Amino acid sequence: MLDVYKNPDLPFEERVVDLVSRMTLDEKISQMVHHAPAIERLGIPAYNWWNECLHGVGRAGIATIFPQAIGIASTWNVDLMHTIAVAISDEGRAKYHQAIREGFHGQYHGLTFWTPNINIFRDPRWGRGQETYGECPYLTSRLGVAMVKGLQGDNPKYLKTVATPKHYAVHSGPEHARHHFDVDVPERDLWDTYLPAFKATVQEGQAYSVMSAYQRFRGEPCSSSTLLLQDILRDEWGFEGFVVSDCGAIRDIFENHRVVDTAEEAAARAVIAGCELNCGETYMMLKGALEQNLIDEATIDRAVRLLFLARFKLGMFDPPECVPFAQIPYEVNDSPLHRDLALQTARESMILLKNDGLLPLDKSQLKTIAVIGPNADSIDALLGNYSGIPAQPITPLAGIRKKVEPDVEVLYVKGCNVVNLILEIRDRNYNEQFSSALTVARRADVVVMVMGLSQALEGENGQMENVGDGQKSQGDRQGLDLPTVQEELLKAVHALGKPVVLVLMNGSPISVNWADEHIPAIVEAWYPGQAGGTALADVLFGDYNPAGRLPITFYKSDAQLPPIEDYEMAKGRTYRYFKGEPLYPFGHGLSYTTFTYHDLQLPHELQIGQPLDVQVTVQNVGDWAGDEVVQLYLRHLESSGVVPIHQLAGFARVPLQPGQSQTLYFTLRPEQFSFVTEDGRRFIEPGRFSIIVGGGQPGYSSTLSGDIELMGEVVEIPR
């Protein structure tokens, strides 16, 4: 007769209770760190909980590599996000089962993925903003839910993988201070900006794991915050999964935050608060904590049961034939279907920031093209951070060469490094790279300058991935401008009088003020993944009509920003509160065709608590087929509290042929009309609201608008 925990016909919860009851204290504690060892007497294999799939399965060899997260967000395509997540989880499952067949249980081959990063990109200098879906809580929520659902699957019994929204909560820099930084924000910002995406991924997405952040929140480390982990996450939102600390965050509790004196105290405090898994080693001190009466064994049992419940739900203790995802073949990795998906995503992520008519380029009129810039032939610039290895990466240079006819000459010179650490700018006329760049530019009919940033200039604190030469990323950016050496090269090439296209490859906004004034065409490509060069060439030569939209504001200068340490939104953070003039606003993106809007329909009055149906028709009145990203914004006109200037409340990416029109229907939920008070309560109150629909943010794009009167009595609703 099978032991209870080995019987696949019994409920997971019953099997987990049985299994944990058979374990010794030392065995239980050993399972609470990310590199959990095998317990051979019980048939428990070793398991490493740490895996990554930010934009493709990371750090585990060949995988399909999609654009960096900020690029995926620029598609404004929820369905595409879900499809990407399904592809990633297919590859993750295939890699896991192949590793198991080979007897490998190491890091980056498990089924618990520490993705997505749904922190709000509130400050464009934050080095990890590239990992997020931008600055808007609503856009982040919609994309985050789609990612979680695609990763975890929809099987009624088994999880395909475990998704882990991170970093909970109120985290977005500064990187250098994250291990000791203390964040405090007004209740209004907590509930209206920093928590909505976590609530959505937990409640709608049913995420089975959450990662706690490094820093303190209101004096308490996030990994041991009862407020965050118990009161809000579990009691208020009904979260039933497990919490994992960011790596080394439990050690920070005593070593850097210094809210306790010992590792034993830190471990006990975190587990009691509701952090079940330690990425790190500190939980190995739990036995000492138990001996010191800092924690009891029942609390440890509760944590271990939650961890094993996840493993059972993943099918790790059932025969492979019982688990549908175990049948995914290894050949799905880097499959033709997934390569096509990476190309589609890269195309949809491209944003045409400016175009004075130079684009698309006419191949029939070009005999010589100069491709210049530090990112033009850089594979690292395709990838961003938390990346796997693409089998066939296509750089911008390779994409352009493949696109044009054999008789078109494509000349390439790097021109400069991303940052020139050796030669002074005043010596540029003697710089061999500058000289070579100007030589090929003089010969060309058009010049494509591929510039931007790198992981050396933006990334995670201490990051070495895709930095090169054994160096580390500086973490947060020191400013927003294009690096000086690149701007000087751009100016020198422009002075030749040649038509110039500027392509930016980066993970955060760049203040290209001079380029916006002088360069006729600018394309934002982000870190576009393995097919980035092909997608860029498609856009440059008109084989694809760009339709990406900015998920974050491009400011003119960091002088428009408060200090990076300041988390308060009302001080001018993001499009929702920024009152200055941006270089390129949130939601911005151009097309090779033209769209018009008409027939906006909404009622004049609406009772509080009722959903609002909005109808609008969009038409392609230009000569090119293309996608339009329809954006719906909501503005409070009479609120008694502090509210955003306006905020995104609906969007849809719509493909339209020339002359074609489509009527769209949006439904706004009652809670979207609410506001949060200074003490953190959420209310809906009567008054006037403005609904604005168009191809961009109000004030920066052609839009239609209408007002609606919300009728009834003030109602308090759940946060």
What is the C-alpha radius of gyration for the chain, rounded to an integer number of angstroms?
26
Give 285's DSSP letter.
Answer: G
Cβ atoms < 10 Å from Cβ of 210: 26
**CA angle at 80 for the pair 74 and 81, rounded to the nearest 5°:** 70
Active-site residue, selected from the candidate residues 458, 460, 558, 628? 458
> 564 near 594, Cβ under 8 Å?
no
Question: Tokens 């249980």, residue?
Answer: 105
In the residue annotation, 246 being an active-site residue is answered as: yes
Taken in order 411, 456, 73, 552, is the CA torsion positive or negative?
negative
**Residues 597-604: contacts with CB under 8 Å, at least 24 apart:** 597/693, 597/694, 597/695, 597/702, 597/703, 597/704, 598/704, 599/663, 600/691, 600/693, 600/704, 600/705, 600/706, 602/691, 602/706, 602/708, 603/708, 604/708, 604/709
Cβ atoms < 10 Å from Cβ of 247: 15
Rounded CA gap, 343 and 6, in Å? 44
> 414 near 433, Cβ under 8 Å?
yes
Classify 670 as helix, strand or coil: helix
Q: How far is CA 715 from CA 285, 603, 609, 683, in A?
A: 48, 21, 8, 6
Rounded CA gap, 714 and 206, in Å? 31
Pairing between strand 675-676 and 682-684?
antiparallel
Cβ atoms < 10 Å from Cβ of 454: 25
Q: Exposed, middle or buried: residue 471 (CB in 10 Å: 0-12, 13-18, 19+)?
A: exposed
Rounded CA gap, 665 and 650, in Å? 10
CA dihedral 493, 495, 498, 504 (to 10 degrees): 40
DSSP string, 502-543: EEEE-SS--B-HHHHHH-SEEEE--S--TTHHHHHHHHHTTS
Backbone dihedral angles phi then psi of residue 584, each to the nearest 5 degrees = -135, 125
Taking the CA of residue 629 as centre, how many other CA atoms within 13 Å lie in the half-sphere pointing to its CB?
Answer: 29
Rounded CA gap, 249 and 180, in Å? 10
Strand partners of residue 501:
448, 521
**CA angle at 429 for the pair 424 and 432, rounded to the nearest 5°:** 85
Q: Exposed, middle or buried: residue 432 (CB in 10 Å: 0-12, 13-18, 19+)?
A: exposed
Structure tokens at 348: 């949809």
In the residue annotation, 14 being an active-site residue is answered as: no
Residue 489's closest CA among 434, 557, 561, 436? 434
Rounded CA gap, 640 and 294, in Å? 47
Rounded CA gap, 496 and 439, in Å? 10
Rounded CA gap, 375 and 565, in Å? 31
Rounded CA gap, 301 and 16, in Å? 11
Backbone dihedral angles phi then psi of residue 505, each to the nearest 5 degrees = -120, 115
Active-site residue, selected from the candidate residues 135, 246, 465, 487? 246
> 529 near 507, Cβ under 8 Å?
no
Residue 708's closest CA among 600, 597, 602, 611? 602
What amino acid positions are annotated as catalytic residues?
246, 458
